[in-house]
Structure 1
Amino acid sequence: MHKTISGFSKLSKSEKIDWIVETHFSNSTNAKSILMQYWNKNDKLQQLHDEFIENTITNYYLPFGVAPNFLINGKTYTIPMAIEESSVVAAASKAAKFWYDRGGFKARVISTTKIGQVHFTYNGSTNDLTLFFNGIKSKFFEDTETITKSMKKRGGGILDIELKNKTKDLKSYYQLHATFETVDAMGANFINSCLEQFASTLKRESEGSLEGDLNVVMSILSNYVPNCLVKAEVSCKVEELTENPNIAPEDFAEKFIQAVKIAEIEPYRAVTHNKGIMNGIDAVVLATGNDFRAVEAGIHAYASKNGKYTSLTHAEVTNGVFKFWMEIPLALGTVGGLTSLHPLVKLALEMLDKPSAKELMQIVAVAGLAQNFGALRSLTTTGIQEGHMKMHLMNILNQFEASSEEKEKLIAHFKTNTVTHSAVVEAIKALR
């Protein structure tokens, strides 16, 4: 068991690495060289990355790929994706190509409202608190004018502030429930700054005006954004679902819809179903410098909004037309945060023709829908493993440090043979 260390954050990067190596890798000869081989040779760029977070010792690489041929609302996109899982980019690209010839994807933003809350307790009369709140409501707007000034110029700001009584759920618990419009910024820092000012105003104004104790617990934005919604969909005549010669279009549509209906009623399936959607969403969110953890938390909460976890996507056939769609909450930004700092993020946004936050919401939702279409198409026809394991083949070959010549022979071999880990191991042994 190693000793704790004081003042670690104050050490230089090389001192941090020396401590890490001495403490955790005393028997390893290459730990330090592994850490250092991921440093960027451009010192200025490396320093930029070092300063994104605390206690940085190296960079952690994810592949940055692209999925071309996405037709969204009549405009063609090449979508950047940062992800480590094989077959995700391939599935998105394949789905994009499939729908390109069938009218492409349609997407629209339904609303863009975000939420922040000041959580507080009050042990006096609810009527007194309500009258007090109504009397000082304008002060919340006045006291945040310096914070909201530049956001208002861009068309955003504080939309409304409500007092919410939550005492039935938790003794003495109330909220200031505020709604915001943050335009092209994700807006977390803006919202949190406003909320902390609301808390100060609330505390200041309550002193001497209310009988009973008012205590602010915390002030924080919510990553649940059920009123920041985007819809993405595809549709075509059933007879146009003709890519796989082994299945009739009508049978494909029926089986596909059945697979979606299963995910709508079976949470065990819905989680994996929605995880596939998030493969596409997270990859684009990461590539564009947005917060995929916030997106994940908000979307999964939305999938449970009716009290049971269910599929985010839906499908139907009406009057001979197959339709597949999804409605999800997304809070994204194209200004602020990493969007103006990380060179690859800037490049990703430029590749997407410098979208507004609303346009990026549409692109991200489409990537998720495309991913789900690709997964369901494989599941209901060839099975998921055929395509996935072929993509995974390269990872297995790299594990066994296969040479270029060995890779060439083994890739040719597995074009007509089923890929499993044991089959690949046997083939490598036989070849060697």
Structure 2
Amino acid sequence: MSISVSAPGKAFLIGEYAVLEGAPSLVTAVDVRAVAHAPREDGRGQQPTSVVACAHARVVEYLQQAGVAAAGDDGHPDVDTGRFYLGARKLGLGSSAAVTAAVVGYHLAAHGLDPRDPEVLPDALELAMAAHAEAQGGGGSGADVAAAVLGGTLRFEQGKAVPVHPLPGLHLAFVDAGYPAITSELVRRVRQGQAAHPARYSAAMDVLADASRSFIDAYLFDGDDPPDDDGLRERFERLRKATATHNHGLRLLQELAGATFITAEIATIVEQAEAMGLCAKPSGASGGDLVLIMATDRSALDRLGERLRRVHGLVLRTDLSAHAEGLRAEQRLPTNSRLAGFFKLSVENRRRAVAEATGLSMDRLRELDAGSFGVQRANHMIENVVGTLELPLAIATNFRINGRDFLVPMCVEEASVVAAASNAAKMIRAGGGFAAHSDPPWMIAQVQLTPALDAPADAEAAAHAIREAAERLLVLADEAHPRLLIRGGGARELEARVVDPAMLVVHVLVDCQDAMGANLLNTVAETVAPELEALTGWQAGLRILSNLSDRRCAHVSARIPPEALAGRGYTGPQVVDGIVSASRFAELDPYRATTHNKGIMNGVDAVVLATGNDWRAMEASAHAYAARDGRYEPLAIWRKDEAGWLEGRMSLPAAVGVVGGATRTHPVARLALEILGCQSGAELGQVMAAAGLASNLAALRALATEGISRGHMSLHARSVALGAGATGPEVEALARALVEHGEIKAERAMLLLQQMRARPRTDS
């Protein structure tokens, strides 16, 4: 098996600038990883960057001096840093430090040394520190390298890193402020300000250093008994004061440097967090990128994220987790979704290409053989089984989402869906790929209430009584699924809706984590219903989940350069204008919007079905969401930006999971999830949304140029040829003949097949 070693990114919790003057800082490893691995067998290795070259040279010299490696040079690894990107924008999470650490770890592992071994780890840290400083031309504290090598959360002071324990009960999250920050430029401006105004610089640094010490004192846990509720509140209040002091010091530094450290977006995030009783500060050099949010209640972070997204268009990054592992070996290589000529390969060779691209074994892909899902297994899934129905399972290529490549399994019977999605994903890749994020996985359990015979029919009074008891009802809801609480989920909010003078509906919003959640939501509804009856005197009717998962959406966007869209006799700008016009058509006309959305669901449903999720629920939710404002509208819209590029975006309810249901019981669904390598239900929803947006782009491009029929023609012809009885080489030959005749119909296909078979065969 190929060696693959990864290292995490980093985020400063406090002390970003104070650490440069010897004050303590806190830095945490973030589970966005650089992965170093051997160049792939296709021979298209990367050219080493200065960071890779420096790390490579340092560790090879170390291995040779230790007598572990021969005097030769066995070559540098390739390094995948895709997860440090959101579309084409790089996030300020310390990618160069992670690359340095991953390269060092790779070479150590390749020569039989475990980089996590306590005897090896100090050498790995020293090598990475020296290599990174050399590549960066000196400067920097080294905290980012320490986080990449050691992982966890570190107190870093005067070049030394000490692992620490975070305060139990404290939750962290990061909000994307929307701009790339150039750390070196901001530090340069600070140094210029220091030279021009040393007294002001010292005053600002004193404020930042005081904030850092106060923050660290409140944040660290000594390993004894965790604080009780009062103790946690007291610690959190100290954190709030320390972050406010830090933000004040950052503004002083901003004035000194004459640079924008706290953008309007950062100011909005901080203000909104403080208004909700949370604390917030920029993480890192500032000027954009990420803002750290802290709370003692996980659901408060989710509520803040929802408010920021809906009102301000700012995104809480639910995929960024702190306290990540440091250097570690990976079980599989980063997926490579650029498989040139994939459609030309035989089925067996396509499997080999997938195995090579994902690191899966060919034996795992045997699950795709006919009959792997047998009648006996099917008989245990549903009732009255008499057989099984097989559908084609294909792989869509070229998908890159948030800097990571995905090979996307699609199960669909309609010709051209997979090819169109793959082609559109290639165009989107030219603009940096898809950028995606997800809402928290909140789903709705509904309880219907109607007046009992002896109860007053005052819906507003009943709703008021329920809202007053919300906290107690949420505790009761959590008792329905204690294991969900252990995984970090649970009941989050309660809503009482008067839908009619004689009908009240209660919503319990539940964080379902990585499950779709239908069964647990139904249980929650059943659990709270008796207490609702007791509170109101009304009678509980239906107790069931809602499949309108509008609080659990995947949001995906893409930018495509015009030249990537050109072809078929049309220039790139012409295609952009045509797609924008087609989008406006769907926005203005529900008849067109319905077909527009059907094309989106071509891609979405194919992935939902391949992964064993509930495609009926996805369809119902998507179309209800499209009509949420009282008029049926398109899910995806397209515009031309100021640079003339095509921009598309879509929000899609995505109540899907990677655990439970057919994802666990169907062997092909399990394998499809392995091929994808999705780490969560949220990430799977993003893949589905990307497949939908790609399918939409492909359809609109065809409509805006040569029309949809010609694009479907050749692929549809193959299906007709099969239906006419063609086998083996006859299929492609008959499909070509049908296209040439311009009549792709069953009768024509059977006639042409008879003529083909009647011709005398000649030996070649």
TM-score, normalised via structure 2 length: 0.48
Pairwise mapping of residues 32-431 of structure 1 onto structure 2 (< 5 A)? 45-122=374-451, 123-124=455-456, 125-126=458-459, 128-130=461-463, 132-134=465-467, 136-167=469-500, 171-203=501-533, 205-206=534-535, 214-238=538-562, 240-244=563-567, 246-320=569-643, 321-404=645-728, 406-414=730-738, 416-421=740-745, 423-431=748-756
| Contact 1:188 1:221 survives alignment (8 Å) | yes
1: CA distance between counterparts of 2:651 and 2:524?
Answer: 29
Structure 1 residue 95 displacement after superposition? 1.2
Structure 1 residue 430 displacement after superposition? 4.1
| Contact 1:393 1:419 survives alignment (8 Å) | no
Judging changes above 3 Å, is the alpha-carbon distance between structure 1 residues 190 and 249 closer, same or farther for their aligned structure 2 residues?
Answer: same
Judging changes above 3 Å, is the alpha-carbon distance between structure 1 residues 219 and 352 closer, same or farther for their aligned structure 2 residues?
Answer: same
Structure 1 residue 429 displacement after superposition? 4.8
Higher RCO structure (Cα 8 Å, ≥6 apart) = 1
Letter in 1 for 2:556: A
| Contact 1:277 1:369 survives alignment (8 Å) | yes
| Contact 1:199 1:219 survives alignment (8 Å) | yes
2: CA distance between counterparts of 1:131 and 1:355?
Answer: 41
Letter in 1 for 2:569: N
Secondary structure at 1:241 match in 2 = helix
Tell me which moved more, 72-81 or 144-153: 144-153
2: CA distance between counterparts of 1:236 and 1:80?
Answer: 24
CA deviations over 1:177-232 (Å, ceiling 9, x no partner): 211111101111111101011112223x25xxx6xx52211111111122212211
Secondary structure at 1:166 match in 2 = strand
RMSD: 2.3
Structure 1 residue 85 displacement after superposition? 0.9
CA deviations over 1:272-296 (Å, ceiling 9, x no partner): 1100100000000111111111111
| Contact 2:565 2:572 survives alignment (8 Å) | yes
CA deviations over 1:121-148 (Å, ceiling 9, x no partner): 1251446534643564444334344423
1: CA distance between counterparts of 2:463 and 2:514?
Answer: 34
| Contact 1:139 1:201 survives alignment (8 Å) | no
Judging changes above 3 Å, is the alpha-carbon distance between structure 1 residues 142 and 303 closer, same or farther for their aligned structure 2 residues?
Answer: closer
CA deviations over 1:79-137 (Å, ceiling 9, x no partner): 00111111111111111222223311111114432212100112514465346435644
Judging changes above 3 Å, is the alpha-carbon distance between structure 1 residues 256 and 179 closer, same or farther for their aligned structure 2 residues?
Answer: same
1: CA distance between counterparts of 2:664 and 2:379?
Answer: 16
2: CA distance between counterparts of 1:47 and 1:424?
Answer: 38
2: CA distance between counterparts of 1:345 and 1:145?
Answer: 30
- Residue 16 of structure 1 is matched in structure 2 by none
- Residue 217 of structure 2 is matched in structure 1 by none
Tell me which moved more, 419-428 or 176-185: 419-428
TM-score, normalised via structure 1 length: 0.83
Judging changes above 3 Å, is the alpha-carbon distance between structure 1 residues 277 and 130 closer, same or farther for their aligned structure 2 residues?
Answer: closer
1: CA distance between counterparts of 2:732 and 2:413?
Answer: 23
Judging changes above 3 Å, is the alpha-carbon distance between structure 1 residues 242 and 118 closer, same or farther for their aligned structure 2 residues?
Answer: closer
**Percent same amino acid at aligned positions?**
35
Letter in 2 for 1:350: E
Judging changes above 3 Å, is the alpha-carbon distance between structure 1 residues 331 and 41 closer, same or farther for their aligned structure 2 residues?
Answer: closer
2: CA distance between counterparts of 1:369 and 1:292?
Answer: 17
2: CA distance between counterparts of 1:349 and 1:405?
Answer: 33
Letter in 2 for 1:306: D
CA deviations over 1:392-414 (Å, ceiling 9, x no partner): 11221222212435434323434
2: CA distance between counterparts of 1:250 and 1:84?
Answer: 33
Tell me which moved more, 143-152 or 385-394: 143-152
Structure 1 residue 234 displacement after superposition? 1.3
1: CA distance between counterparts of 2:678 and 2:589?
Answer: 39
2: CA distance between counterparts of 1:45 and 1:51?
Answer: 10
Structure 1 residue 161 displacement after superposition? 1.6
2: CA distance between counterparts of 1:272 and 1:145?
Answer: 41
| Contact 2:478 2:491 survives alignment (8 Å) | no
2: CA distance between counterparts of 1:256 and 1:41?
Answer: 43
Structure 1 residue 62 displacement after superposition? 1.3
Judging changes above 3 Å, is the alpha-carbon distance between structure 1 residues 158 and 425 closer, same or farther for their aligned structure 2 residues?
Answer: same
2: CA distance between counterparts of 1:224 and 1:362?
Answer: 17
| Contact 1:80 1:287 survives alignment (8 Å) | yes
| Contact 2:578 2:701 survives alignment (8 Å) | no
| Contact 2:492 2:510 survives alignment (8 Å) | yes
Letter in 1 for 2:389: Y
Aligned residues: 383
Secondary structure at 1:290 match in 2 = coil
1: CA distance between counterparts of 2:544 and 2:462?
Answer: 21
Tell me which moved more, 110-119 or 357-366: 110-119
| Contact 1:111 1:230 survives alignment (8 Å) | no
- Residue 6 of structure 1 is matched in structure 2 by none
Judging changes above 3 Å, is the alpha-carbon distance between structure 1 residues 261 and 423 closer, same or farther for their aligned structure 2 residues?
Answer: farther
| Contact 2:602 2:695 survives alignment (8 Å) | yes
1: CA distance between counterparts of 2:475 and 2:629?
Answer: 37
Unmatched tracts of structure 1, length 5 or more: 1-39
Judging changes above 3 Å, is the alpha-carbon distance between structure 1 residues 135 and 372 closer, same or farther for their aligned structure 2 residues?
Answer: closer
| Contact 2:587 2:633 survives alignment (8 Å) | yes
Choose 1 or 2 for highest CA Rg.
Answer: 2
| Contact 1:118 1:220 survives alignment (8 Å) | yes
- Residue 292 of structure 2 is matched in structure 1 by none
2: CA distance between counterparts of 1:90 and 1:314?
Answer: 22
| Contact 1:91 1:371 survives alignment (8 Å) | yes
Unmatched tracts of structure 2, length 5 or more: 1-369, 759-764
